[in-house]
Chain A
Amino acid sequence: MSATEPDLGSADDLTERERNAVEAQLFRLADDEYVQAERYTFWQVRAPTLESDLAFANNAQDELGHARLWYDAIQQFGYSEESLLWESEPSDFQHSTFVELPFEEGDWADAVLRAYLYDVAEDIRLSALENSSYKVIRERTSRIQDEEGYHVEHAESWLQRMAQDSDASRRVEKALDHLYPYALTLFEPVGDVEDNIVELGVRTMTLDEMRKEWTDRITDFLTNLGFDVPTDEEPAAPIGRDNNHTEYWDELYEEMVSSYRNLGRHEATKLMGPEDDE
């Protein structure tokens, strides 16, 4: 953290403007990670090798852990887990629509490419947060960066292997055409609060800067492997960040909360109830 940048203090110290900016940044982090993890779980027994079953299961667990860190940070503002996850409306979520798209059975190229596009974006976003003016974000980012290290590497090594095979290459190219416009929604704004996020130093790069770095990086890598990146595409609609989602999200959300509802829960039960706790 450079000496010229202000430190906003902790949750209780924030002005309303600061709090709105910090919350807006936290919600996208938490929701992206959570929903990406939900989708990864599809592959944990369907990937083409036991090794990749494990890799996807592990990535899912990593992203869930990170979602928990971010939702915890949001709870410091007084939100409860119930209101954040189990008793929300699907349209309350602000993840990018990129992470909510379902996988098609057997479309491994889609899974690998999606992991790659997401993890590069994640890497760039985390580096834009490592000097955040909000300490909670800054310090958790450092922890998460430690655990993200091999995600990009794993996806890259799969893509390099797939590029050697003409059939697999065709499937990657098809997935790229489909996913690229959705991946761009990762860099779409939540609203006017966006300017404050950067002005207040909550994040040190604008969305445009992050998108440019992402485009350069993935285009470099994928072009080298012989893929054609559709860089003139516009972001897909809906974008998710503005609370508008695809129909796939409604379905996934229903699955996600079905146990909570079927069990008639009104709170996210912890291991020990109050009767066990002094």
Chain B
Amino acid sequence: MSSDYDRPRADADAKACSYTEYDTKERATGDVPATGDGAEGLEREIWSALYQVEDPEMPISVVDLGLIYGLELDDGEVTIDMTLTYSGCPARELILEDVEQAAESVNGVDKADVRLVWSPDWSMDLVTEQGKDALRDFGISFDQ
């Protein structure tokens, strides 16, 4: 390393650290948000479980809020791409844990991993119609 650049390096085995690491991927590949439309079988059950996870501040599921950007199921292991409404979100760990646990609660899922995705940008436009209804009931207006 050059002398003008001396931040300490992480140990090569830093991955072995005893805490959950959330992978980050940069961009979701499919259309966003993903809502599980047309999902079948085990995948459908996982989506049902995700619909049970609510935003910590508002009575709306993370799926209806448009935070889920993708879901891949591979032989009992599920990988979920999701974003957050705000980069400074203080509930980041809480929400990601909730999502992983919800997915892992489904019979037939051995392991769930959440990957944080920051692109495309999240906006109110990604809230589903069902989600908009829930937010209207909560007192949030979508009228421009």
A65 surroundings in chain B (CB, below 8 A): 86-89
Interface status of A66 (Cβ within 8 A of chain B):
yes
Q: Is B8 within 8 A of A92, CB to CB?
A: yes
> Given B10, B24, B93, B111, which contacts A78 in the complex, CB threshold below 8 Å?
B10
> Chain B interface: which size bin?
20 to 34
Interface status of A23 (Cβ within 8 A of chain B):
yes
Stretch touching chain A among B11-19, B31-39, B57-65? B11-19
> Given B5, B10, B118, which contacts A69 in the complex, CB threshold below 8 Å?
B118
> Given B11, B12, B18, B121, which contacts A143 in the complex, CB threshold below 8 Å?
B121
Q: For the complex, give the distance between the alpha carbons of A69 and B22 in Å.
A: 13
> Chain A interface: which size bin?
35 or more
- B interface residues with partner A (beta carbon < 8 Å): 1-12, 14, 17-20, 24, 26-27, 86-90, 93-94, 97, 104, 111, 116, 118-119, 121
- A interface residues with partner B (beta carbon < 8 Å): 10, 20, 23-24, 27, 61-62, 64-66, 68-69, 72, 75-76, 78-80, 83-84, 87-88, 92, 94, 135-136, 139-140, 142-144, 146-147, 190-193, 242-243, 267-274, 277-278
A-B contact pairs, 12 of them (CB 8 A): A69-B118, A72-B24, A75-B10, A139-B27, A143-B119, A143-B121, A191-B3, A193-B2, A243-B6, A270-B93, A271-B97, A272-B19
Q: Which 8 A-B pairs have the closest CB atoms?
A: A65-B88, A191-B4, A65-B87, A139-B119, A270-B19, A80-B10, A61-B88, A79-B10
